[in-house]
């Protein structure tokens, strides 16, 4: 992994607090940055999922509408995928 050195300017009070907490080592700062990036990626993915749900019309449905849609989906899956496997012939 290539390393690039950069200057880091912090407000004096933040510097004092970070120094007191022992988090000014390069390893600790690297971990904090990686954690922040992972969180950012996670938050972006949540926003994407929310957008997909909204575009699919999944927002603003009543509880009854959601249950009806789930029942319809379950029935469709049963009819197309499972009924012939698990229904005994009479």
Establish if 78 belongs to a structural domain. yes
Q: Are residues 39 and 65 in the same domain?
A: no
Domain that holds residue 86: 60-90
The DSSP 8-state label assigned to residue 52 in this structure reads: H
CA distance 7 to 22: 19
pLDDT value of position 78? 92
Q: Are residues 55 and 72 in the same domain?
A: no
- Each residue's pLDDT tens digit, 36-62: 988 889 889 999 998 888 888 777 778
- Tell if the pTM clears 0.75, that is, is over it: no
Q: For residue 58, how many other CB atoms are within 10 A of its CB?
A: 13
Residues in the chain with pLDDT < 50?
Answer: none
């Amino acid at each position: 992994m290539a390393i690039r050195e950069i200057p880091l300017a912090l407000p004096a009070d933040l510097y004092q607090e970070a120094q007191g907490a022992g988090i000014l080592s390069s390893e600790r700062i690297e971990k904090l940055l990686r954690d922040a990036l992972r969180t950012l990626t996670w938050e972006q993915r949540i926003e994407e999922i929310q957008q997909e749900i909204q575009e699919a019309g999944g927002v603003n449905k009543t509880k009854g509408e959601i249950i009806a849609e789930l029942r319809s989906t379950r029935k469709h899956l049963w009819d197309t995928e499972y009924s012939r496997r698990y229904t005994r012939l009479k």
